[in-house]
Chains A and B, each alone.
Chain A
Amino acid sequence: MEQTRRDFLKTSVAASAAATVGLPVTQAVQAAAMEAEEGWQWDKSVCRFCGTGCGIMVATKNDRIVATKGDPDAPVNRGLNCIKGYFNGKIMYGKDRLTQPLLRMKDGKYAKDGKFTPVTWERAFDEMEKQFKKVYKEMGPHGVAVFGSGQYTIPEGYTMAKLMKAGFRSNNIDPNARHCMASAVVGFIQTFGIDEPSGNYDDIEHTETVITWGANMAECHPVLWARVSDRKMADPKVKIVNLTTCSNQTSDIADSEIVFKPGTDLAIYNYIAREIVKRDAVDHDFVNKHCVFATGPYDIGYGMRGTSKYAFEAEKDTQAKELKITLDKYEAIAQRKKEGQVVEQKNRAKPVKHWQISFDDFKKGVEPYTLDFVAELSKGDVDESLESHKKKLKALADLYAEKGRKVTSFWTMGMNQHYRGSWVNEQAYMVHLLTGKQAKPGDGAFSLTGQPSACGTAREVGTFAHRLPADMVVFNGKHRERSEKIWKLPAKTLNPKVGSHITKILRSLEDGSIKWAWVQVNNPFQASANANHWIKGARAKDNFLVVSDPYPTVSGKVGDLILPTAMIYEKWGLYGNAERRTQGWRQQVNPPGEAMGDVWQGLEFAKRFKLKEVWGEHKIPGLKGKGYENGMLPSVLDEAVKMGYSPEDTLYDVLFATAENKKVAWPHDPAVTKGHGNHIAEKLGDGWFPEKALFDEYRQFTVNFQHDLADFDTYMRDDVRGLKWPVIDGKETQWRFNEKYDPYVKKGMGFEFYGKALKATPTGNLDKPTSKEKKKLAGKAKIFFRPYAAPPEQPDNNYDLWMSTGRVIEHWHTGTMTRRVPELHRAVPTAQIFMHPDDASKRGLKRNDVVWIESRRGKVKSIVETQGRNRPTKGYTFVPFFDESVMINMVALDVTCPMSKEEDFKKCAVKVYKA
């Protein structure tokens, strides 16, 4: 490259970077920069990776991405990018990008044991349809399933949720987001009656205290962490506390690092609550007006299978705890019971039930959680003195309890991926509500998310086995009715029976109760704990597994049909981030080869089904209720005819390319499209703009229903860098439930927790409900008492180390995209096992030794790292899950929070020895 060109480029990079962060540049420099960028088209977009939702500017030239930069106008990241964000433009150009459908074939025919062979889309859909119809005929709606995603764009998630629920009448669609934030959702719904945070990222600039619980923000939410660091530098009053089970980079700027034993966060929260009560730091006015106290049963199991039938011999002892446990010394104190008492897990079927209690009962509940008790139980570092740990816990309680001090708590997977994840989420609100530090600028418990649209798509659209759009649920008749109306479906089309959550879909593939599944925008066979079982299930003779993916993955390899899929900037889309911000982008470049977007794949598949094939009568196991006699989901074909549909109509006609939607024409208004193409609309060729039509249809669910979204074109505007819902009269909502900011709060209330779910409960005492009569609590939040419970699997003499999985900054999830960027791959080519140097030497190991990591469920090889960025205490190990050659999920345990069904990837017992 010529010197002058290089200098030009450098000037351009500097000018762009300066402009991005608001530094002045001279006109001459700007002119030079413009020249260097000649022929580039810049457009706003959103980062593909985590739930932060950073704005990214993308430059294209000749249908190829040539540069990316942080978006200076994006309120989330204000021009900054993290290392992953920096590579958004590159993830699409890996050398092994899939460009043709691949079907396992032998002698020209599909064969389960065949080799992957390139086929046409037509042939691919033919086989998919044939296999689907076979299973659907034999088993009905519950025999098929979709693995959805928190990385679906909103139109993608909406297309698939509607196709499954309204078309196939099956609720077996569940996203990988189940593994990321389902516990957070349960916490929100139980506490506030509505999903997602009250506050937003601006809490960082307003607060005086940042407390991180099980969230390595420095590495996993680096851009938000940059805002936290800025805040800390700007104000000496600001204090940061990092609560973690493994010393990490987040501790670097923290005032205090509290290393605790896995699972004892439950006890630490109760200690804080006890201190708040003892010191009378309770905001009585706030609590009396806006809160009630509640609790629920303790004996709810651990989300494992109730039978040992499918368990490997070695895992049977852990599995047995699903039905019965013996209380250890600490649990006995924490639950006001006796050590050694055997507790049958009687409430496994109804773990979410709860009842209101008095403040006196609540106080009784937290009474055993003294500093002495909690410090002894929770101290995670054997080398730390008990006195030092006590001092830190007390200082933590001081911060929460200090009157007038603003406190923001952040958490992610440490609290969500937890055998009692829903409880610990509720406890976060417990301490904030007790002190009135919630739903105010700088004050609030804030659940961060891991995926770019876990909120926007998985949760808000409702691509879960139990959900419908806008926080509605399939088991609520009124919600089904409202959905059927908006979707123009005959009454009783929607299936009231909750479908299978993602772990259950995997278990069902193993036990034969689901036989056809479609994987979209995720990699469940690498990302789910106890993977040996699920890989076996995928390969079972009768099962047919379709995997849509841009790259070959573990899931692809165990699948039967792989569909080449378009990536982020190859399609139009919208994502919703962790602060309720919905953001949209245009298609920037065309997908390579025959790769196609997920929306198109869903729509094309819908063309292959006539109403008469899916809207007849179906037997649904476990379905009960009036109108569903003998477990039958009734035929709605007669009603459909009355509504003007024909049994010969396809699901494409009835659900998607409706007369209304077809009015939304492609090509669309040039002021919105700005010359950008749409490979999906162009391939469909019937003149409509599916992403816009479907988004605006979906929007009807949200408006005047506490979830108001703006219309599609608004999100595409250059002066809109996303809007935080509810968006009312074009204005976003900064802090929900607070009269000053949220139009949904009734005037004069001050605060109102207006979410509608679970707003009447029985009443009782700490142990049980005493009156079945439901007491209303409209407008109020619940402060839950939840006890400490011990992790069901802990290190013992044989498996003598704790093991947690997680992320490193360079890689995203299962590495499908980031490992295709050679530079990122080189930076961290393989997943290491982070362990304490003494634990290594005790086993005769040193740094870089190849070892086996073995649990009751399986073993993998990895490399020892004793000096890395994660610095585990003695007895504790950490292994990232991005690397398919160190498939740590073969070792991890598929315990789930029984309420949220989210897997606990953070706690299991392993042994490590030289390979």
Chain B
Amino acid sequence: MNLSGILVVTTPPEIDALIDTLNAMPGLEVHNVDRDSSKLIVVQEAESIHDEIDGLKKIKKLPGIVLADMVYHYFAEDESLMPELPEDLDELTGMPQSVVPEYLND
């Protein structure tokens, strides 16, 4: 489980619609609303931080967004949250693992 706290800045006419939109998105909850400054705090829960980054990118693209940025990051002490790099990643690209010529390690 990864949790992030995201600051969202919007404008007064957009704020209510935006709160509804955000709450309807998977993994998102609007926790704090400050109407004076049109600022929201959204908590995002996601499987991986990759999904969190995607989530943030989606928020940034919503109508009525002035600013959306991460403020807080929690990652549990749990080792499973620091998995090894999936091997298929490098295969995906078809790239060699290292540019250092083979002979250097001979």
Contacts and interface: CB of A to CB of B under 8 A. Distances in A.
B100 A557 contact: yes
B17 interface: no
Interface in B37-86: 37, 39, 41, 43, 45, 48-50, 52-53, 56, 66-67, 69-77, 82-86
A861 interface: yes
B13 interface: no
Given A113-B106, A823-B53, A885-B90, A14 B73 contact: no
Contacts of B5: 13-14, 16-18, 20, 69
A79 B71 contact: yes
Given A1-B1, A822-B86, A885-B90, A10 B105 contact: no
Interface stretch (A80-88, A367-375, A598-606): A80-88
A90 B4 CA distance: 14
Nearest to A885: B95
A169 B60 CA distance: 54
Going nearest first, the 9 A-B pairs with the smallest beta carbon separation are A17-B5, A14-B31, A823-B49, A885-B95, A830-B93, A69-B72, A17-B71, A887-B99, A17-B72
Interface in A639-664: none
Given A66-B77, A81-B73, A829 B1 contact: no
A471 B74 CA distance: 42
A822 B73 contact: no
Contacts of A810: 53
Interface residues of B, number: 53
A62 B1 CA distance: 20
**Among B39, B41, B72, B93: residue with most chain A CB under 10 A:** B72
A64 B89 contact: no
A822 B85 contact: yes
Contacts of B9: 230
B43 A850 contact: no
A268 B96 CA distance: 42
Contacts of B105: 115, 557
Contacts of B43: 10, 13-14, 17
A830 B53 contact: no
B6 interface: yes
Nearest to B101: A535
Interface in A842-883: 850, 860-861, 863
A574 interface: no
Contacts of B45: 6, 10
Contact of A890 (B7, B49, B93, B99): B99
B23 interface: no
**Among A10, A115, A230: residue with most chain B CB under 10 A:** A10
A554 interface: yes
A78 to B, nearest CB: 10
A609 B98 CA distance: 37
Interface stretch (A21-29, A616-624, A729-737): A21-29
Given A1-B1, A13-B5, A14-B43, A89 B95 contact: no
B3 A89 contact: no
B104 A6 contact: no
Given A24-B32, A826-B86, 9 more contacts: A16-B71, A24-B34, A66-B77, A68-B73, A80-B71, A822-B85, A826-B48, A829-B90, A884-B99
Contacts of B73: 67-69, 81, 86-87, 89
A14 B41 contact: yes
A95 B34 CA distance: 42
Nearest to A16: B72
A887 to B, nearest CB: 4
Contacts of A14: 5, 31-32, 41, 43
A829 B93 contact: yes
